[in-house]
A and B are shown apart, each in its own frame.
Chain A
Amino acid sequence: MTERLTDIGPPHYEQFLPPVIKANYGRWDHHEILAPGVMVHVAESGDKLYTVRAASPRLVSVPKLRQFCDLADKYCDGYFRFTSRNNVEFLTAKEENVAPLKKDLEALGHPVGGTGNAISNIVHTQGWVHCHSAATDASGVVKAVMDDLVEEFTNMRLPGKLRIALACCLNMCGAVHCSDISILGIHRHPPKIDRERMSKICEIPNLIAACPTAAIRPTMIDGKQGVEVLEERCMYCANCYTVCPAMPLADAGGDGVSIWVGGKVSNARTQPSFSKLAIPYLPNNPPRWPEVVSAVRNLVEVWAANARPYERMGEWIDRIGWPRFFELTGIEFKKEHIDDFSHAGLTFKRSTHLRF
């Protein structure tokens, strides 16, 4: 019987670093992007490290991981890593391994790219594969959008970086709220109250306190404590559902997808900023979500045709103004675009700086 280990923490990263990294750790001089998805990092010592970056669906099976291991053994002495945007990267000091590695990855169905002025992988959440609060699927929408835009992953012909992210509900796991294009699952119906379960599994005061708009009120039904929802106050945030499973919001007809634009996390040039609403609602239309795919393509194309070099989506919109953005993209500006929550007033235009 082995001893039960706890609180040992993660394995130390050093054991996973290739020898060329260990020898040059913290002493890298510069890097170059040799081709989409292929980089060389040159150390002060003159040593070179080649990286080949390939797309992954994030949801990866054990057989696929073993194939990655085989490639790492064949070309990289067993070393590989993943990126913050769910790409897989193979690391080697041998330049001659780059071309065959790239070929093998592509043969396995993993496009090589995602570097420089391109669309990198779409950061996304679990969706219908695993999440209880999803208002849309995640992996399926990402697959449909990237099937359509894969050439912007394997080329570097865009004006600047384009970061797309998807969250399957307003909880927004991942940096969805700060992306050039955010695809966001939304509910549009108030919670359906399961009175039978509520009295067993929910703390009513907690539930009432959880509502940011005070739309949930206590009530007595058949002598049992329960709640009612003021529908006109509900903004479908699902915070109540998070604290009380008897308040589900998912609804086949009401749920769908919204599209947000112009956010970024990098400090380059302009400050990090939130994405803003572009399209309030598109229907859930599996398996290929054609409305979402064409909306994203339109945004990418209009931005690519009009932005200056290094101008991210939000910087471009700042330069031309929102009215022109709606005009160029052909998106209709509606009441839903005007904020009416906590900081709404900060988003009103309070100058005559108008472009006609």
Chain B
Amino acid sequence: MTRPLRQTVGAHYGWKDWLVQRVTAVIMVLYTLWMLAVTLYNGGIDYALWQALFANGAFRIATLLFGLALLWHAWIGMRDIWMDYIKPTAVRLTLEVMTFVVLVAYAAWLAQILWAAGQV
């Protein structure tokens, strides 16, 4: 009986996370530059402009996209830091789970804020 050679190349999430970290970074750079341009063009942001921005559905979607990119980016970054510095598995797993739960809660919070802004 011949067995297939065991693949010793790991779980494959390394290259995916590497790529995700860069794609999310580019999304955040674009959103940051866009917001900077809006702010400079209008000479600051007052309440009327702030509300007008969030009344726009496309802007809310862009903000949600930015937020999700940020939270995904933060997940990979924080998990890498826990993996690098925290040796005991139980402690590391606890910190990773806490980080993940907090980030998902932030995503829900952002969705709530954007949803409420769309109801006005």
A and B part of one assembly: no
B residues whose Cβ falls under 8 Å from a Cβ of A = none
A residues whose Cβ falls under 8 Å from a Cβ of B = none
